[in-house]
Amino acid sequence: MIGIVIPAHNEELYLDDCLRAARIAAVHPALHGETVRVAVVLDSCTDGSRRIVEQHAAQSAGGAFRIEHLSVDARNVGTARAVGVEHLLRDGARWLAFTDADTKVSPAWLVEQLRLNVDVVCGTVGVDDWSPHCDNAEALCLHFQNSYTDADGHHHIHGANMGVSATAYRLAGGFKPLECSEDVALVEALERIGARFAWSAAPRVTTSARCDAKARGGFGDTLLRYAASARAEFGAS
């Protein structure tokens, strides 16, 4: 069984697209019908996120693909990811794939992770809509393209695009209860145990260019720093 973990804190604007994309990836013919389960971990949600997940869960009832939700009150992405993982491990997951609620995975996302035949896959992210940054959007897009390595051999770490074998995850000690950089801490632990890595651009995801970053120090904050650099570089207002 393959498990997908998606933490969510008030993500009603993005969750529907996220889960639609996950469903398409989960039923890819190259997976040969292997069971795929998605655990959406609702962390202190006060919006319509739960309703959206429940709608998708009802549609996925039965068959090899299933969506379910767990609830925590932690406001901590490391805790949310860890809770989702433990739930899936108890049910026999052999491979754990991670993305975010504001991210859409590609149809071949899981296939490409597994094809690499390693313990850990660290993927890249793309952004297809820079409009949240308004007048700075064009300059930010150019700066991102010039500053970000979207190619094999990169060394970016994104919780929105990672995969790890259940065995390696357990040996590394799992996600720590960190409010940000929980993905970096896990990768460092996996490196310490000698896990085999693929730093690959093959498993594709598209994430949001949101200005309302949910986790301090995460990708949203990185984009805000890019925006500041873009203004300085291109003179954007």
The structural domain count of the chain equals: 1
**pLDDT for position 62:** 79
User: What CATH number should be reported for the domain holding residue 107?
Assistant: 3.90.550.10
* 70 SS3 class: strand
Distance of alpha carbon 227 from alpha carbon 229, whole angstroms: 5
| Residue 118: CA count within 13 A, CB half-sphere | 18
For 164, the domain range is: 2-234
In 166-233, where do the E strands start and end? 197-199, 205-207
**pLDDT for position 132:** 83
Place of tokens 């009150």: 73
By the 8 A CB rule, do 34 and 64 touch?
yes
**Residue closest to 166 by CA, chosen among 93, 225, 222, 219:** 93
Which phi and psi (to 5°) does residue 110 adopt? Answer: -70, -40
Distance of alpha carbon 230 from alpha carbon 236, whole angstroms: 7
Q: Is the dihedral of CA 175, 21, 205, 32 positive or negative?
A: positive
Instruction: List per-residue pLDDT tens for the chain, 237 residues long.
Output: 999 999 999 999 999 999 999 999 999 999 999 999 999 999 999 999 999 999 999 998 778 999 999 999 999 999 999 999 999 999 999 999 999 999 999 999 999 999 999 999 999 999 988 988 888 888 889 988 999 999 999 999 999 999 999 999 999 999 999 999 999 999 999 999 999 999 999 999 999 887 776 655 566 656 665 555 555 555 544
pTM (predicted TM-score): 0.90
**pLDDT for position 232:** 57
**pLDDT for position 237:** 43
**pLDDT for position 236:** 45
**pLDDT for position 213:** 63
Cα separations in angstroms, 107 against 26, 90, 199: 8, 26, 19
Query: Between 219-234 and 137-147, two packed helices, what is the crossing angle to 10 degrees?
Result: 100
